[in-house]
Amino acid sequence: MSEIKPNDKGSSEESAEEQDWAAAKAAFDNLKSNKPRPPKPKNAVTIAVSSRTLFNMKAERKIFEEEGLEKYVAFQQEHENEPLKPGPAFPFVKALMNVNTQLRELYPDNEELFDIVLMTNNHAQVGVRLINSINHYGMLRRDLTIERFCMTGGKSPIGYLKAYLTNLYLSKSADKVIQAIDEGIAAATMFTPDTEQELSNTQLRVAFDGDAVLFSDESEIIVKQHGLDTFFEHEKHFENKPLAQGPLKCFLEALGKLQRKFYAKNERLNCPIRTFLVTARSAASSGARVLKTLRSWGLEIDEALFLAGAPKGPLLQKIRPHIFFDDQMFHIEGATELGTISAHVPYGIGQKYHKGKLIEQPEKKE
């Protein structure tokens, strides 16, 4: 059966309307062919970000806390055509887009890409402003389309993270991050730096602490409970025994998977992903076990920086990562003061200490 077109009069000559119809259909078909399909979640590296990490919603949050939910939603609707300002995760997400651009150039049909999910407990009525803000900053484009939203209407979104096959969750809520880590998902609480730094537009730069971030907190437990001398002896004795994995090991693994896509095309030197280990460990006394652990996992780190207890902030200021992960707020504070976008990983024994002092834990109610 022949296709029925509008105003088909059976004439052999095409009318102006028929020509318009054909042109519109051709343009639509061309659009479909030029826009790659979003990657299947099972193949992608999925990053879930909250609306308050992607955008600066400090003023809106104040309305919510002081005037309540209804006033907050009304404010968002009244200002839905005003784009929100970038938040702490914004440069990180833009860097992910740039990696995707380069991956698509090498592998046009590749589905091993970064995929962003906006994971928020906002109400659906706020969604229009979030979508308009994403559009304003060009985040709905062929390199990486933020098409997957999860708006839970005031309820915690943590229960959806596994369903979205999340590789990393970033939030401003420490409670939600702790819940995510308890569910076995790499997660961190984001902090906005005190000053802005110019970051790379061509390379994603990710810096990790070691113990209680990439690795378990077993070594930190020894330091806190028995001191440095016992720690050094322990590390030397167990130098050839790999450390247990920490909460962000799986994210480093996901980054390595994408890095190898570039290596396979002889693009190691031009790889747009660069990873850094920035640890307070000493290289001579406790560094070998760290490097041997990474080797046993089949993982690479581009730069390993052992500071032997020196402050991390000045070095991170030189690295200029799009995100820095650490389990101790002491290091997070020092990094943000000098302009580094930082993310706290609330994991392990370090959460009981601040600036080396034991924090009194509230007694649990029976």
Q: Annotated active-site positions, please?
A: 209
- List phi, psi (to 5°) of 151: -115, 115
How many Cβ atoms sit within 10 Å of the Cβ of residue 118? 25
Q: Would the CA dihedral through 25, 26, 31, 32 be positive or negative?
A: positive
Which residues make Cβ contacts (< 8 Å) with residue 129, sequence separation at least 6? 76, 77, 79, 80, 82, 84
Q: On the CB side of 54, how many CA atoms lie within 13 Å of its CA?
A: 25
Q: Which helix (H) or strand (E) holds 69?
A: helix 69-78
**326 within 8 A of 345, measured Cβ to Cβ:** yes
- Of 165, 158, 130, 125, nearest in space to 51 by CA: 130
Parallel, antiparallel or unpaired: strands 85-86 and 55-56: antiparallel
Q: Would the CA dihedral through 287, 332, 184, 248 be positive or negative?
A: negative
Report the SS3 class of residue 306.
strand
Beta pairing partners, 205: 274
**327 within 8 A of 348, measured Cβ to Cβ:** yes
Tokens matching residue 240 = 């050839």
Which residues make Cβ contacts (< 8 Å) with residue 202, sequence separation at least 6? 98, 272
Rounded Cα distance, 166 and 170, in Å = 11
Angle CA 340–307–193, to nearest 5:
10
Length of the chain: 366
* Structure letter (DSSP) for residue 240: T
The burial class, CB within 10 Å (0-12 / 13-18 / 19+), for 315 is middle
